[in-house]
């Protein structure tokens, strides 16, 4: 029988993270739009859901493997015409090098998918490719300890987003409650799988 799930965080009821979220969503100054691949929505360890619940100005939009611009409504595409795409790569500018005042009011766009699928979304979308990109360099190792990343320095969607918002607003501490909620989720998963399984599959 399928386990009952929380209708808010979509986690199993026995592993609900709602209590770990801020009592009131954080009022982020830069609006956030997350393009979430359909296969990611039901992933039990999805961090984008924490962002959507924990930020006042954050919207999740479902996309698939088709070109992104064909799956989003024209008014949304128009609203995101000057968005900054959070995505690593040689053509990206480190968020630490941006002058925040020059980009005030521009929405942030994030792809929530596996690295393989996010790259497929990017390469299949001329619209995404023409957006300016910003990258993230976390000051410490990723706290999302239950996934092997393809390259050193890669991180979860939530970590990337919190770092960008904290850098642009000059206040990283403001977004720590969201990362703390993610820590609860990660620790629950490690406890469920057992320390031996965790060490065998995820510890380097």
Each residue's pLDDT expressed in tens, for the chain with a length of 204 residues: 677 889 899 888 988 999 999 999 999 999 999 999 887 776 668 899 999 999 999 999 999 888 899 999 999 999 999 999 999 988 899 999 999 999 988 999 999 988 889 999 999 999 999 999 999 988 888 888 776 665 666 788 999 999 999 999 999 999 999 999 999 998 888 787 767 766 766 654
The answer to whether 95 touches 155, Cβ cutoff 8 Å, is no
The per-residue pLDDT for 2 is: 72
Q: How far apart (Å, rounded) are the C-alpha atoms in residues 191 and 195? A: 7
Q: Return the pLDDT at 202.
A: 62
Q: Which is it for strands 92-94 and 32-37: parallel, antiparallel or unpaired? A: unpaired
How much is the pLDDT for 198?
63
Model pLDDT, residue 10: 86
Q: List the alpha helices (DSSP H) in the chain.
A: 38-41, 48-54, 68-71, 74-79, 115-123, 126-129, 157-169, 176-193, 195-201
**In the CATH hierarchy, which top-level class contains the domain 28-143+154-175?**
alpha beta
Specify the pLDDT at position 19: 94
């Amino acid at each position: 029988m399928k386990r009952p799930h929380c209708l808010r965080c979509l986690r199993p009821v026995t592993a609900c993270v709602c209590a770990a979220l801020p009592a009131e969503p954080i009022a982020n100054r830069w609006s956030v739009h997350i393009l979430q691949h359909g296969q990611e929505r039901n992933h039990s360890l999805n961090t984008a859901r924490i962002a959507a619940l924990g930020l006042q100005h954050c919207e999740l939009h479902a996309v698939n493997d088709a070109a992104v611009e064909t799956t989003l409504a024209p008014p949304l595409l128009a609203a995101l015409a000057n968005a900054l795409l959070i995505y690593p790569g040689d053509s990206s500018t480190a968020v630490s090098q941006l002058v925040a005042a020059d980009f005030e009011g521009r929405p942030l766009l994030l792809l929530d998918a596996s690295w393989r699928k996010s790259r497929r979304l990017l390469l299949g979308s001329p619209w995404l490719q023409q957006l300016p990109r910003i990258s993230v360099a976390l000051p410490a190792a990723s706290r999302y300890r239950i996934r092997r990343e393809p390259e050193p320095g890669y991180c979860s969607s939530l970590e990337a987003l919190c770092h960008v918002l904290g850098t642009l607003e000059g206040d990283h501490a403001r977004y720590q409650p969201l990362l703390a909620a993610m820590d609860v989720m990660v620790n629950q998963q490690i406890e469920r799988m057992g320390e031996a399984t965790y060490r065998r599959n995820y510890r380097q």
